[in-house]
Structure 1
Amino acid sequence: MRFVQDIPHPQFRIGLYAWNGKYIVKIEAGPYEQTYKVSEMDLSTPEDITTMLDNEFLNQVRQRFQDMDADWQATGERNDIFQ
């Protein structure tokens, strides 16, 4: 996997990678990560990825991270791991 660039964001760490004919977008927040893959053939340039990371999309990413955290906390509590 080849690193292409970091995409600045105040809340998330966003990295763009290229691998096997695909762009891979990794979005990290704390211990959680979301990964999106898109074929290089579907885009004109790698900059199209930045355009796709609009406010509406990133708000959904933020919500998904919150849901992931809630799920993780719930399973920890349900199984007496987290107090």
Structure 2
Amino acid sequence: MRVVGEIPHSQCKITVFAWNNRYLIKLEQGLLEQTFKVNQYDVIDEAELYRIVDEPFVEAALKRFDEMSESLRQAMQRA
């Protein structure tokens, strides 16, 4: 797996990888992570990946992190 680059953001770590004819866009916040796989042939070049990760994309992911955290908290309370 090759690191293509990082996208700076104040609320999460965003790393772009290349692996097995796919790009992986990985967002991390604390102990949670989200990974999006993009077929290498679906983008023109690696620069397009940085355009995909725009503010609406990141805002949706941050909301999902909140939902994931709440889901885990509830599950742990039931256990």
Question: Smaller-chain TM-score range?
Answer: over 0.9
| CA–CA distance in structure 1, aligned partners of residues 46 and 8 of structure 2 | 15
1:41-80 correspondence runs (5 A): 41-79=41-79
Percent identity of paired positions between Structure 1 and Structure 2: 34
| Structure 2 runs not aligned, ≥5 long | none
Instruction: Compute the RMSD of aligned alpha carbons.
Output: 0.8
SS in structure 2 at match of 1:68 = helix
Counterpart position of 2:34: 34
Distance 2:75 2:40 in 1: 37
Runs of 4+ displaced beyond 4 Å: none
| TM-score for both structures, normalised by structure 2 | 0.94
How many residue pairs match? The answer is: 79
Q: What TM-score comes out, normalization by structure 1 length?
A: 0.90
Structure 1 runs not aligned, ≥5 long: none
State the partner residue of 2:3. 3
Deviation string, structure 1 residues 1-53 (Cα, Å, up to 9, x no partner): 11111111111101111011110111000000000010111111111111111
With 27-36 and 47-56 compared, the bigger mean Cα shift is at 47-56
Identify the structure with bigger relative contact order (alpha carbons < 8 Å, sequence gap 6+): 2
Tell me what 1:20 maps to.
20
